[in-house]
Structure 1
Amino acid sequence: MSNAKKAVVLVSGGLDSTTVLAMARDQGYACYALSFDYGQRHRGELVAAERVSSALGDVEHKVVRLNLDSIGGSALTDVSIAVPEEETTGIPVTYVPARNTVFLAIALGWAEVLEAQDIFIGVNAVDYSGYPDCRPAFVSAFEAMANLATKAGVEGRKINIHAPLMAMNKGAIIRAGQELGVDYSLTVSCYQVTDDGLACGRCDSCRLRRQGFESAGVPDLTRYR
């Protein structure tokens, strides 16, 4: 592994990012997991991120602290905005303004320090909540920007943004993770998970997760309230 290519992998502790970490490792990358304590209301995801990063053999797991709650604008960062428990149309209030742009920018900085040319993110444009920063056009645009804005890019060491789940539904993601030995009981997907890891079972993220396990024909080991 000492001679393996390095990759920064965004790890939230959820189902998607955990699968992406397993994929990157399976492709032979030395994985540097990156999580964010960004003022989110659900602290249980950071505990899950540490669990899955350790279980999947990362080289290092870094948690960067941000204060996105200082600007609010999302049910995930402002406790005065309720997390919806019914299906909604359009971009939901759980969208955190510019979150993936901010996260990828910091991942890009760490990648430069590590001399890594690959960044993995678990965005998905099939079974997702309508977030604009989960689309192929966003990933392509960020990759183009990354190669214009960095010393690595200017010197010809191309930065690659990998989004291997982009065209996969939740069932396919779970099946792929199962083949790679992912233990999904370690993960948390709920928007309002308790500090001890109990999911609400009612939010949009819980619904998509449950449907995914049903579609994959895999037992759902999620601990619900």
Structure 2
Amino acid sequence: MTTSQIHSTNQPTDTKNARAVVLFSGGLDSTTCLYWARANFADVTAISFRYGQRHSSELDAAGRIAKSLGVAHRVIDIDIAQLGGSALTDLSIDVPPADTAQDGVPITYVPARNTIFLSYALAAAEVTGATYIVIGVSSVDFSGYPDCRPDFIAAFETMANLATVAGRAGNRLSITAPLQHLSKAETLQLGLSLGVDYAATVSCYQADSEGRACGVCDSCTLRRQGFLGAGVPDPTRYQN
């Protein structure tokens, strides 16, 4: 799959001289987006967050990947964990196995996380002169989170252009979701075409200190199914 085959939200067309800010966790999706952004934009800044998540292994992976690519990388400290309400930030709430029957949005949803992350990315875009923010959300193979859907991304983009000096001056900001309509298998095919080393990524909700995945959470299950669907070996290191 080539970049021209992507069906995305606000797909950039002419970005030869454009700058982009990429929301970058160090997981499968955001790493694909970072490689994709490097192939499409003149200058890229990656932003990660230490927000009170269960482990730092994904952040460690993000740092290594950004360094290997020579991409400017900023880690921002915020404390969403103090609000609670998610198994990813509240250690008193167990991360459920993927096969656990659930009604509605899973307990791994972090309230307003993408809204908060995009707000910081918006500020970074103004500071760096970026006209694109790249986010690795998908509404195909995903956990049902409300802030991963096209209408949310479109609404935030509208707000962003009303909330910034650049936007009011006519320097329009676009929020691009290159994986929005891709399955996990299609995302992997895109990343492999761009040279992504998925062995370097960490996606697990409860990875250990060495970055090894639990193999049973929703994120692990979607990731494993993606490799199966893409017909390529899964390089993920598992705890068991």
Tell whether the structures are fold-level matches, with TM greater than 0.5.
yes
Hey, what's the Cα distance between the residues in 1 that align with 2:105 and 2:170? 37
Give the root-mean-square deviation of aligned CA atoms: 1.0
Aligned twin of 2:134: 120
Kept in 1, the 8 Å contact 2:20–2:125? The answer is yes
| Cα distance per residue 1:73-118 (max 9 Å; x no partner) | 1000000000001333420000000000000000000100111111
Q: Distance in 2 between matches of 1:100 and 1:113?
A: 20
Deviation at 1:211, TM superposition (A): 0.3
The corresponding residue for 1:50 is: 63
Cα separation, 2, equivalents of 1:26 and 1:164: 12
Q: CA deviation at 1:28?
A: 3.1
1:148 Cα offset (Å): 0.4
Q: Residue 223 in 1 paired to residue 234 in 2?
A: no
Give the match for residue 15 of structure 1.
28
Residue pair 2:20, 2:41 contacting (<8 A) in 1 also = no
Pairs within 5 Å for 1:60-209:
60-87=72-99, 88-209=102-223
The one-character-per-residue Cα deviations of 1:9-57 (angstroms, maximum 9, x if unpaired) are 0000100000011111111331100000000002101001112212333
- My pick for the range that moved more, 151-160 or 88-97, is 88-97
Give the deviation of 1:5 after TM superposition: 2.1
- Three-state SS of the structure 2 residue aligned to 1:129 is coil
Structure 2 CA distance for aligned equivalents of residues 86 and 33 of structure 1: 29
Asked whether the equivalents of residues 184 and 221 of structure 1 are also in contact (C-alpha less than 8 Å), the reply is yes
Aligned AA for 1:63? V
Query: What amino acid sits opposite 2:76 in the alignment?
Result: V
Contact 2:98 2:221 in 1 (8 A): no
Task: Confirm or deny: 8 A CA contact 1:21 1:56 kept in the other structure.
Answer: no
What's the secondary structure of 1:194's corresponding residue?
coil
Give me the whole-angstrom Cα distance separating, in 2, the residues matched to 1:91 and 1:42.
22
Unaligned 5+ runs, structure 1: none
User: What is the aligned counterpart of 2:37 among 24, 31, 40?
Assistant: 24
2:28 corresponds to which letter in structure 1? L
> Do the aligned partners of 2:134 and 2:177 also contact (CA within 8 Å) in 1?
yes
- 2: CA distance between counterparts of 1:157 and 1:4? 14
Paired amino acid for 1:86: A
Percent identity over the alignment?
Answer: 57
In structure 1, C-alpha distance between the alignment counterparts of 2:49 and 2:197, rounded to whole Å: 22
| 1:218 maps to amino acid | V
Structure 1 position 164, deviation (Å): 0.6
**TM-score normalized by the length of structure 2:** 0.90
State the AA in 1 paired with 2:41.
G
Aligned to 1:210: 224
How many Å apart are 1:130 and its aligned residue?
Answer: 0.5
Q: TM-score, normalised by structure 1?
A: 0.96
Look up the equivalent residue of 2:84 and give its one-letter code: G
Q: Deviation at 1:195?
A: 1.5
> 1:4: how far off?
3.9
